[in-house]
Amino acid sequence: MFIDRAKIHIVSGKGGNGAVSFRREPFVPEGGPDGGDGGDGGNIVFQADRNYRTLMDFKYKKKYQAENGQDGMKKKKFGKKGEDLIIKVPVGTEIIEAQTNKLMVDMVEDGQTFVAAKGGKGGKGNDKYKNSVRQAPNFAQAGGFAIERDVILELKVLADVGLVGFPNVGKSSFLAVTTSAKPKIDNFHFTTISPNLGVVEIHDRNFVLADIAGIIEGAHKGVGLGLRFLKHIERTKVLIHVVDVSGSEGRDPIEDFEKINNELELYSKQVGKKPQIVCANKIDLIGEDSQKYKEFKEYINAKGLEVYPTSAPLKKGVQAVLDAALRKLDEELQHPTPEPEIEYFDMSIDDNDPDFKTVYARKEGNTYILEGKQLQKIFASTNFNDLGSMRYLYKYVEKSGAIDKLIDMGLQEGDTIKISDFEFEYYDEY
């Protein structure tokens, strides 16, 4: 089964907590601090692999989590770093941040890697907090938070030339006779239900040719298999527009040509402007001297496009189409069409989260609740048996303006303030 889109949830590893520990030596206060640092959490890393062809692996497994960092230990031993989780995807996969729908990275090269969620930093052990005044710190730093996010994986085939046209006009046959690909060929619509790729060897050169299926009238709105396959055209540089010039299914070739181009234009202005070569297929059924073919050729030529009469199964005219495609490719390489500007997801917000230091205050019944990412980290680092550690927590809460917010909500002496699962009674020291 060809799967080209999937949504998954990724979670990096949490940083390990720093250790609170004291060595046992005579004449050293509290034995001397020797708590080691926690290990960093593992990253979520995507890797492009040419051996993968679809996103099938993500159809059933939706959550991916890296290993947490190990907590620090006594004798200044650092915790082990959490293992990175490497997620392999096909070459050509776009990774999109689901909440903003912005592109994070386009995996276009085999072996390319991308860190989509960084692991939390390991917390510092109490050994790092000793100084000339505080010689026996009885607290350590909690490990950094893991990063969680939903991402969309979208696969777009990497091809130089794309075959477009109505179903059953001969695209698969053209691919079969020009490459070593073995597409399914039959006389009914939507025989091709996934993009097929093949390599064309020509004049000591080669290029990748793709059969882009599923385009019919209304495809840009998702009719038929439209949207699933229209996106695969975005990466191609040249289009070979295959038309059943014989009208064997009762349709008019000129109308077919215009309808397909209209769908391309409605889907994307950029796609609609791609260079085209028109392949007048099934010419063996009517002949080049027929009035129908002459009218079609005259109409297409008037638009400034080349027309090549072909019969794919008989290989008639196929070489001329491939030669024209190669020429168009060379023109594109010399004078590439400008790519539209893409707004990428800003990965720096993971390191500079503006929400990280904010302390939020709210009231539930008679309880006043304080929440915040940095508050949670400081709270987790607090030793409630150590006066200095508790004082640091209180000063942070006070400087954040959270106490003033609670007072505005009606906080009075004796009321309960809750941070995480810990509740304490508010006392105004002034």
pLDDT higher than threshold 70 for residue 365: yes
- Output 358 or 41, whichever has higher pLDDT: 41
Spatial strand order of the sheet with 5-11 comes to 63-65, 5-11, 148-155, 93-97, 102-107
CB under 8 Å to 289, separation ≥6 — which residues? none
Which percentage of the chain shows pLDDT scores above 90?
42
- How many contiguous H segments (helices) and E segments (strands) does the chain have? 9, 18
- Output 64 or 363, whichever has higher pLDDT: 64
Distance, in Å, from the CA atom of 137 to the CA atom of 133, rounded to the nearest integer, reads: 10
Question: Predicted confidence band at 86 (pLDDT cuts at 50, 70, 90)?
Answer: very high
Q: What is the DSSP string of 49-99?
A: ETT--SSGGGTT--EEEPPPPPPPBTTTBPPPPPPPEEEEEETTEEEEETT
Residue range 212-234: mean pLDDT, rounded: 56
pLDDT higher than threshold 50 for residue 220: no
Amino acid at residue number 69: G
pLDDT higher than threshold 60 for residue 221: no
* Highest mean pLDDT: which range of 264-268, 321-325, 368-372: 321-325
Beta pairing partners, 10:
64, 149
Residue 239 has what pLDDT? 94
Nearest to 374 by CA among 428, 419, 426: 419
Which percentage of the chain shows pLDDT scores above 70?
89
The angle that helices 387-399 and 373-381 make with each other, rounded to 10 degrees, is: 170
Residue 121 has what pLDDT? 92
- Output 220 or 188, whichever has higher pLDDT: 188
Residue 430 has what pLDDT? 46
Residue 190 has what pLDDT? 45
pLDDT higher than threshold 80 for residue 352: no
Nearest to 300 by CA among 318, 277, 323: 277
Question: Predicted confidence band at 340 (pLDDT cuts at 50, 70, 90)?
Answer: confident
Residue range 280-307: mean pLDDT, rounded: 94
Nearest to 123 by CA among 406, 367, 418, 382: 382
